A = this chain, B = another copy of it.
Amino acid sequence: MSERGNRPLDLLEASVGTEVTVHLKGGEVYEGLLAGYDQHMNLVVEEGEDTTIIRGDNVVSIRP
């Protein structure tokens, strides 16, 4: 499969080190620096002093 355009994980890769807004299925919203991710969309988000690991299956959307 030749996937044109910006693949979702490529955009996630490009967003490491920048501010993102993450919406979860439970309604929670995280706004902070994207410090890391993996192919399951597990995320590491830094909000000021707080670092949070989010399990990917909770993620609805990520806005770089």
Q: Which of B5, B24, B52 contacts A16 (CB 8 A)?
A: B5
Contact yes or no, A4 B16, CB < 8 A: yes
Contact yes or no, B36 A17, CB < 8 A: no
Residues of chain A from 8 to 49 with CB closer than 8 A to chain B in the complex: 8-13, 16-17, 24-26, 28, 34-39, 41-44
- Residues of chain B within 8 A (CB-CB) of A7 are 36-38, 42, 44
- Residues of chain B within 8 A (CB-CB) of A63 are 50-53
Interchain Cβ contacts under 8 Å between A and B, 20 examples = A2-B13, A3-B16, A3-B38, A4-B13, A5-B16, A5-B17, A5-B36, A6-B35, A7-B38, A7-B42, A7-B44, A8-B36, A8-B37, A11-B35, A26-B60, A52-B62, A52-B63, A53-B64, A55-B62, A57-B57
